[in-house]
Amino acid sequence: MKILINIALFLTFIFGFGQNQYSEIKYYFKINNGGSPVILDCALLYNENDNKSTFINFGFNSIPEEQKTEIDDINGDLLVNVEKYDDNNGQKPEYQKFFLKDSLVSHESVYGEKKYHVILEKLPTLRWEILNDTLNILNFKTQKAKVNFRGRDYFAWFSTEIKISDGPYKFYGLPGLILKIQSTDSKYTFEVYSVKLNISEKHFSITNLKEKYPNKKIISINDKVNLIKKNTEKERKFRLSNNPNATEIKIEHSGIELNYEDVINGN
């Protein structure tokens, strides 16, 4: 009997050790352009064994089940104005971080391009400043931090109670999970509404984007920057040709990432 128990414990250890453990964190992504905000549904799936994650934008037609009813977020905004995300191709933005390889692969739009691209870059260097302010989010105590990322300043609230140095979109690198991050102009906000830690059954998977979109050529972040420059110049010339009285037209970009100085400077 003792031998059988030892064998059972050994097998439990072997199979248990090899089983992947996941954490699934759901966020709403709010875009506020001065009118009624657009709210999209996103999720972060973190694989603890392989130290990698994927952040995917799903979009939804109604308030997520976890939120149950119409509620105010911590800024007093009513979470009822929801729009379905749709890029007309059934494609969704997705961002995969591979921490052991120091790489980030994304499936995202590029200014002036009709189709999404699979883009490879190094994990961006984020120089966080940790502040003293605290806030409770979903019963987790969080601490405030500040960072500048590609032309925008952000405040983030992270919890050391969740030992995951990750967050929504391309944000990561704090000593705990980012539960909320908001641009200082309040235009972009990611805020958590559901946290499930150490789960074996997940609602979606981390499928390598290279395999998910095998017919798409993988481009580098530098290629993306060059495409933006080319398409911006094309747009500038087009607008000039349609405005004979104009001597110069400046194209200003919007979006989460306003500039790529870190890429150009090799940081």
Residue 119 β-bridge partners: 106, 219
Name the amino acid, one letter, at 264.
Answer: I
Position 204 pLDDT exceeds 50: yes
Q: Which residue in this structure is represented by tokens 């391009």?
A: 113
97-137 pLDDT tens trace: 999 999 999 999 898 888 899 999 999 999 999 999 999 99
What residue ranges define each of the domains in the chain, with the CATH number in brackets?
Answer: 20-219 (2.50.20)
Position 170 pLDDT exceeds 70: yes
Q: How far apart are CA 97 and CA 120, in angstroms?
A: 10
Question: Burial of 225 by CB count in 10 Å (0-12 exposed, 13-18 middle, 19+ buried)?
Answer: middle
Q: How far apart are CA 156 and CA 158, in angstroms?
A: 6
Q: How far apart are CA 82 and CA 60, in angstroms?
A: 7
Answer for the pair 47, 70: CB distance below 8 angstroms, yes or no: no
Pick from 41, 42, 43, 38: which is nearest to 82 by CA? 38
Position 50 pLDDT exceeds 70: yes
pTM across the whole model: 0.82
Structure tokens at 214: 């095998």
Of 14-28, 34-48, 136-150, the least confident: 14-28
Q: How far apart are CA 164 and CA 63, in angstroms?
A: 26
Average pLDDT of span 243-247: 74
Position 1 pLDDT exceeds 80: no
